[in-house]
A and B are shown apart, each in its own frame.
Chain A
Amino acid sequence: MSTAGIVLFYVFGSLALASAVGTIALPSPIRAAMSLLAHIVSLSGLFLLLHAHLLAALQVLVYAGAVVVLFIFVIMLIGPVSAPPHGERGKLIKACSGATILAVSALLAYSLYPVRAPLESLGNCTAAEGAECDQFGGVLAFSKSLFVGAVVPFELIAVLLTVAIVGAVAVARGRTAAESRTLSIKLHEKGKVSVAEEAREHVLATQLTVPPPPERGL
């Protein structure tokens, strides 16, 4: 690898680290999302260094272009975040588990740092071939591996995404107004519903979850 490659590694690497720290440390969610975006872009840069050209592009397209945008939509929807009413719980658990995980990652990093493997030089596409050449990590080669070698998982991923869409929509929407009216008419017709019951039914219909038990003193 050339000197430029080494320098670029350190640049992108430190950017990735910094933005990761930013994601987890910044108090405002919008800022954390922006930091995540920076992390994803720096990771895309690292992919380019690793001869995964198509994957780098896909990373920006999907992650930065879709997932982070989705995050931002939801953050906008939720609005400003208020402080929790009773202060934070479980500070000790937090501290212990945080320390544990830092220890684990430090152990892993220290153990894995000495791993060495021979580096083959992989050619790049010449200008004459354009982007269609058969180099490692290029569109042609990567597509061959994906659509020929891994076509079954690919199709299954498509199914998975469909399921995820359906699930997200089902989870996220409540009942429309028309549906809740029909539901309460049905319950009235049964004649067994009291006012309090009906209110509870309404809440159930809109919330899709069990109402919380009465608040205990925390």
Chain B
Amino acid sequence: MQQIELGHYLALSSVIFGLGAFGFLVRRNVLVQLMSIELMLNSVNLMLVGCNRFLPDNHAGQVFAFFVIAVAAAEASVGLAIVISLFRLKKTVHSDQADSLRH
């Protein structure tokens, strides 16, 4: 069988990124949008770790991925807090209803 090359991992990462972005743009449920953001962050993590495997001089890729995970956690918590506030205000989690900032 063909060896798994760096290109495979990069391609997989791009596809998952695309799926995550697609989900963010198309779905209207704010929670699913947040989950799509997590998908995108994960795809970036995959690419970082994959590139690090093929350039193993240092652990830069994995360290970076570590920080991405930490930041993603922080961002998820704050984002969910905002979702809760939005729900309290509008009684819905539909992103189309969250248009108070229109002109």
Kindly identify which residue among B17, B45, B60, B89 contacts A43, using a CB–CB cutoff of 8 Å: B45
Bound together, the chains give a CA A110 to CA B11 distance in angstroms of 7
* Structural contact, A101 and B92, CB atoms closer than 8 A: no
Helix, strand, loop or mixed for chain B's interface? Answer: helix
* Structural contact, A119 and B3, CB atoms closer than 8 A: yes
* Structural contact, B80 and A88, CB atoms closer than 8 A: no
Bound together, the chains give a CA A51 to CA B59 distance in angstroms of 11
A116 on the B face (CB < 8 A): yes
Bound together, the chains give a CA A114 to CA B5 distance in angstroms of 9
* Structural contact, B73 and A161, CB atoms closer than 8 A: yes
* Structural contact, B71 and A98, CB atoms closer than 8 A: no
Kindly identify which residue among B50, B56, B94, B100 contacts A136, using a CB–CB cutoff of 8 Å: B56
Q: Given A23-B36, A88-B96, are A104 and B18 also a contact pair (CB < 8 Å)? A: yes
Mask for A74-118, Cβ within 8 A of B = 1, else 0?
110110011010001110001001100110111011101111111
Kindly identify which residue among A23, A63, A171 contacts B81, using a CB–CB cutoff of 8 Å: A171
Which residues of the other chain, A, contact B63 by a CB distance below 8 angstroms?
Answer: 142, 145-146, 149-150
Mask for B19-51, Cβ within 8 A of A = 1, else 0?
111110111110110111011001001100110
Helix, strand, loop or mixed for chain A's interface? Answer: helix
A212 on the B face (CB < 8 A): yes
Interface residues on chain B, number (Cβ under 8 Å): 78
Please tell me which stretch of A5-13, A176-184, A189-197 contacts chain B, meaning at least 4 of its Cβ atoms lie within 8 angstroms of it: A5-13
Q: Given A13-B12, A104-B18, A117-B6, are A62 and B73 also a contact pair (CB < 8 Å)? A: yes
Interface residues on chain A, number (Cβ under 8 Å): 94
* Structural contact, A84 and B54, CB atoms closer than 8 A: no
Chain A, Cβ-Cβ closest to B27: A24
Bound together, the chains give a CA A84 to CA B91 distance in angstroms of 11
- For residue B66, give the distance in angstroms from its CB to the closest CB of chain A: 6
Kindly identify which residue among B28, B58, B81, B96 contacts A168, using a CB–CB cutoff of 8 Å: B81
Kindly identify which residue among A1, A70, A210 contacts B80, using a CB–CB cutoff of 8 Å: A70
Chain A, Cβ-Cβ closest to B54: A117
* Structural contact, B75 and A58, CB atoms closer than 8 A: no
Q: Closest 7 CB pairs between A and B? A: A105-B18, A24-B23, A164-B74, A145-B59, A172-B81, A112-B10, A168-B81
- A-binding residues in B (CB < 8 A): 1-12, 14-23, 25-29, 31-32, 34-36, 38-39, 42, 45-46, 49-50, 52-56, 58-60, 62-63, 65-67, 69-78, 80-85, 87-90, 92-94, 96-97, 100
